[in-house]
Structure 1
Amino acid sequence: MTRLISTDPATGDVVWEGDASSLGEVERAAVMARRAFPDWADRPRQFRIDALKRYQAALKARAPEIAEAISRETGKALWETTAELAAMQGKVDISIRAYDERTGERETPTGFGRAVLRHRPHGVAAVLGPFNFPGHLPNGHIVPALLAGDTVVFKPSEEAPLTGQLMMECLREAGLPEGVVNVVQGGREVGQALLSQDIDALMFTGSGAAGAHFKRQFAENPHVILALELGGNNPLVVWDAKDAEAVAGIVAMSAFVTTGQRCSCARRLIVEAGPKGDAVIEAVAAIMDRLSYAPWNSTPEPFGGPLISARAAAQAREALQARIDMGARVIRDTGPVDGLSDAFVKPALIDVTDVAVPDEEIFAPFLSVQRVPLFDEAIAAANRTKYGLSAGLVSDDPAKWDRFITRIRAGVVNFNRPTTGAAGDMPFGGLGASGNHRPSAYYAADYCAYPVASFEAGEVRNIEGEMKGLRA
């Protein structure tokens, strides 16, 4: 039996310890979900809504406890995890509205009878959770799936098993029938074991590389619907913005919030070559020097915490150094945060103008600057990526936004706001290596159920009059 241990990356303290699920336990979870599916799918929609409302109430009652658990497991500041719990609660009401708008049932009268549109659940959904938002992101799959009538087997991130356990406790407190929601704990082996079971959907949030692996794995299983919310090498273009200090705040929230561990974080800053661009870069470097990083329960509250682990920090530093070795010029270097664990890293800013660096996401607070002479070249540079999750423009010129929004290729595109900002009542997802054209958030309803279109008449009627070429 493999032992699973979760630690606080800021201190190394053990947060949770338990056995990873065995192959037999994974199989039983999938079997229980399959057995529970017909009854759950056939329950009245209001029954499922009532159950999820009870789950919402359980989350609210235990919000301080769960927020602290997420902070301890991920190192995120408590202000962030408190907001995460609020988003998890809000997801229930948002998903109910989305189900009615995006799916649900509707009918249209016809000459004889009616045309009816219904939506039916897929069946058993495997949900693989990430570590950066270990509550909010899997919750964004689980809630709409349950509302649609799917049953769920949830594998939390191995970095945040306690968060997953607490979520399951809240779902059980809600009184869901046995087998409707099941949790398995463990790492990659457990996840792969889950995906080898009889499932109807995979709902995953994580890296582009993992998403590409799942696309290949299920290429010959088109009956398994894939909802892949992946990473990005996201651009932020700054052009004709007079207040450099105001710009710097938007850049900092785009690139460095959650210590760079958001898939929507800006990784590339594209500015005008010359004095205007120089002023932006200087202002960004200045605000970077003011960002505080400390353990989640520090007073005053820090801007950010550690990366998820010392190993992740070491890998991020290696990736940054590789770019420097390629010729990138250091504006602000990374390094350890004095007196804290090796999981902490300082935000970094490098200039990669005319340097061919890899089109890859570094999941850390590292930002690359590229200088270009013309705005159209800035848009072209922004689109020069295999990813397409988020992008942003900061400018005082609305005409530039009009051009940017029609030419940029990304699923979340913001104007004078951080790239990390996204509304819960809108879709969230990207193109290319950032997803598979099945955005989450408000559009999660789309991949949790499939449409069934029907012509219906209330009686049997002779339709010979509609038939051409019928002999008398």
Structure 2
Amino acid sequence: MSQLTSIDPATDQVVWQGAESTPGQVADAVAAARAAFPDWADRPRQDRIDALKRYQAALKARATEMAQAISRETGKALWETTAELGAMQGKVDISIRAYDERTGERANDTAFGRAVLRHRPHGVAAVLGPFNFPGHLPNGHIVPALLAGDTVVFKPSEETPWTGQLMAECLAEADLPAGVFNLVQGGRDVGAALLDQPIDALMFTGSGAAGAHFRRKFADDPHVILALELGGNNPLVVWDAADVEAVAGLVVQSAFVTTGQRCSCARRLIVPEGPQGDAIVEAVAALVDRLIFAPWDSQPEPYGGPLISKSAAAAALKALQDRIDAGARVIRASGPVDNLPGAFVRPALIDVTGVHMPDEEMFAPFLSVTRVATFDAAIQEANATRYGLSAGLVSDDPANWDRFIRRIRAGVVNFNRPTTGAAGDMPFGGLGASGNHRPSAYYAADYCAYPVASFEAAGVKNIEGEMKGLR
């Protein structure tokens, strides 16, 4: 049996070890979920709500411990993982409201009988978690799926198995029936083994490449519902904004929060040609110089930590160098951070105006600047991507926003706020290579259950009077 090890990228220390699930254990987990599904789906909805409230209480009781564990496993600053635990707890109440609003059951009387709308769970849902928000993001699938009556098999990222184990312990404290929630641990082979099992739904947060693979894999299995929340090559346009220091804060928070490891981070900054654009870029560069990247428990409190691993840092730095070799001009260079481990990288700012760049997401604190002559050209440049997750506009002119929101192609579009901001009671997701039009967050209720529409009469009634063409 293979051993799975989780490394703190800020210290290179081992923080968790455990056994990787075997193919047989994966099959057993799916079989257990399948066996538990009928009873769980048929239980009164209040039973499922009560169970999730117990899970919420377990998360609250262990919030400090879990936040520190996520910081150790991912390298993220403690202020950020504390917020992540808060979001995980809040997801329970939000999901209950979303289910009532978007699914549930309702009826009305018509001339032809009582019309009833019900929603039924799909069955066994496979949830594959990411490493950047290893609690919050899979939790956003698991909670609404369980609430709808689905059973779940969860595979955390192989980079963050400890967080998955802690979530499983909290769900065990919620006293769910056996088989309703199942944890499997491992890397790609374990994920592949899970998706080869007879599942009814795949709920995934991760890269666009992985999402494309899943689309192909399940092309001939239309009964398997796919909810894919993928990455983005996200644009942030700044136009007609006078306060460059205020602009800089919005840009930096969009591009560099979570060390650039959010799918909604701005990757492309689009500014006017000339002095206005120059002033914006200079202010952004000056604020970048003030950012503290250090271990999660350092003092003073860090802005961000390392990337998830040394290999991720090496791949990101190579992608950055490829862009520089292609002609990008360096404004702020990346590289190691002081004497810290190799997963730490400095934020980079490069000017790619007039240089052809690959339409790929760099999951790191790197931001590319493009200068354009007109606002229409800025919108055109913003839409020049096969992705469509997030986008933003910073401007003093509301007329610019009116034009931007009508023309931009993305699922999350913010005005004078960072591209990374998203409300928990709103949908979250994108289109194109960023997803499959199944936004998560508040709209997760939509893909966790399917609608069943019925006409119903209290008794058997002769309908010959409704029929035409009788002798």
Give TM-score scaled by structure 1 length. Answer: 0.99
Looking at structure 1, the residues matched to 52 and 300 of structure 2 have their Cα atoms a distance apart, in angstroms, of: 36
1:435 and 2:435 matched: yes
Partner secondary structure for residue 469 of structure 1: coil
Distance 2:106 2:276 in 1: 55
What is the CA deviation profile of residues 118-171 of structure 1, one whole-angstrom value per residue up to 9, with x for unaligned ones?
000000000000000000000000000000000000000111111000000000
Identity of aligned residues (%): 81
Between the aligned partners of 1:112 and 1:219, the Cα distance in structure 2 is: 38
Number of the residue aligned with 1:66:
66
How far residue 112 of structure 1 moved from its aligned partner, in angstroms, is 4.2
1:17 equivalent in alignment to 2:17:
yes
Q: Distance in 2 between matches of 1:270 and 1:2?
A: 47
Q: Contact conserved, 2:117 with 2:453, CA < 8 A, in 1?
A: yes
TM-fit CA distance, 1:370: 0.2
What is the Cα deviation at residue 196 of structure 1?
A: 0.3
The letter for the 2-side match of 1:223 is H
Does residue 198 of structure 1 match 2:210? no
Name the CA distance, whole Å, in 2 between partners of 1:383 and 1:112.
48
Mapped to 1, the partners of 2:444 and 2:69 lie a distance apart of: 26
Distance 2:298 2:225 in 1: 43
Match of 1:341 in 2: 341
2:167 counterpart residue number: 167
2:153 is matched with 153
Paired AA for residue 163 in structure 2: T
SS in 1 for 2:83: helix
For 1:294, what is the secondary structure of its paired residue?
Answer: coil
Which residue number corresponds to residue 393 of structure 1? 393
Opposite residue 399 of structure 2, the aligned amino acid is A
- Which amino acid in structure 1 is aligned with residue 203 of structure 2? M
Q: Show CA shifts across 1:349-400 (max 9, x none).
A: 0000000010000000000000000000000000000000000000000000
Instruction: Tell me, in whole angstroms, the C-alpha distance in 1 between the residues paired with 2:225 and 2:461.
Output: 39
- Please name the residue that 2:378 is paired with: 378
2:126 is matched by which residue type in structure 1? A
Specify the code of the residue in structure 2 equivalent to 1:65: E
TM-score under structure 2 length normalisation: 1.00
Are residues 1:80 and 2:80 paired? yes
Tell me what 2:417 maps to: 417
1:247-278 deviations in whole A, cap 9, x for unaligned? 00000000000000000000000000000000
| CA distance in 2: counterparts of 1:382 and 1:25, whole angstroms | 46
1:429 maps to a residue whose letter is G
CA distance in 2, matches of 1:112, 1:309: 62
Return the offset for 1:2: 1.4
Structure 2 counterpart of 1:100: 100
After TM superposition, list the pairs within 5 Å mapping 1:456-467 onto structure 2: 456-467=456-467
Deviation for aligned residue 1:438: 0.4
Aligned equivalent of 1:33: 33
Partner of 2:143: 143
SS, match of residue 256 in structure 1: helix
Residue 321 (structure 2) aligns with: 321
Q: CA offsets, 1:17-44, max 9 Å, x none?
A: 0110001100000000000000000000
Matched residue, 1:134: 134
Cα distance in 2, alignment partners of residues 18 and 409 from structure 1: 43
Shift of 1:14: 0.6
Which residue identity lines up with residue 166 of structure 2 in the other structure? L
Amino acid at match of 1:98: A
Match of 2:451 in 1: 451
- Structure 2's unaligned 5+ residue stretches are none
Matched to 1:66, the amino acid is M
Partner in structure 1 of residue 332 of structure 2: 332
User: By how many angstroms is 1:469 displaced?
Assistant: 1.1
Q: CA RMSD, aligned part only? A: 0.4
What are the residue-to-residue correspondences of 1:196-345 with 2, within 5 Å?
196-345=196-345
Cα distance in 1, alignment partners of residues 464 and 360 from structure 2: 63
User: Counterpart of 1:153 in 2: which secondary structure?
Assistant: strand
For 2:112 and 2:133, the matched residues in 1 are separated by 51
- For residues 379 and 431 of structure 1, the distance between their equivalents in structure 2, rounded to whole angstroms, comes to 17
DSSP 3-state at the match of 1:424:
coil
Give the partner amino acid of 1:413.
V
Which residue type is aligned with residue 386 of structure 1? R
Q: In structure 2, how many angstroms separate the alpha carbons of the residues matched to 1:190 and 1:468?
A: 59
CA distance in 1, matches of 2:267, 2:131: 19
Q: Aligned partners of 1:424, 1:378: CA distance in 2, in Å? A: 29
- Structure 1: distance between partners of 2:33 and 2:126: 10
In 2, the alpha carbon distance for the partners of 1:285 and 1:112 equals 67
1:315 and 1:171 map into 2 onto residues whose CA distance is 36
Amino acid at match of 2:72: R
Q: Distance in 1 between matches of 2:467 and 2:109?
A: 22
Deviation per residue, 1:168-219 (Å, 9 max, x gap): 0000100100000000000000000000001000000000000000000000
Match in the other structure for 1:109: 109
Provide the C-alpha distance between the structure 1 equivalents of 2:456 and 2:402, rounded to a whole number of angstroms. 46
Whole-angstrom distance in 2 between the partners of 1:256 and 1:82? 19
| Distance in 1, Cα, partners of 2:364 & 2:463 | 67
* CA–CA distance in structure 1, aligned partners of residues 19 and 153 of structure 2: 17
Q: Distance in 2 between matches of 1:414 and 1:25?
A: 44
Extract structure 1 runs of 4+ deviating beyond 4 A.
none
Distance 1:469 1:203 in 2: 50
Deviation of 1:431 (Å): 0.7
Give the partner amino acid of 1:342: G
State the alpha-carbon separation in 2 of the partners of residues 386 and 341 from structure 1. Answer: 34
| 2:3 paired residue number | 3
Aligned-partner Cα distance in 1 for 2:52–2:448: 15
Distance in 2 (alpha carbons) for counterparts of 1:124 and 1:96? 20
CA contact (8 A) 2:112 2:455 kept: no
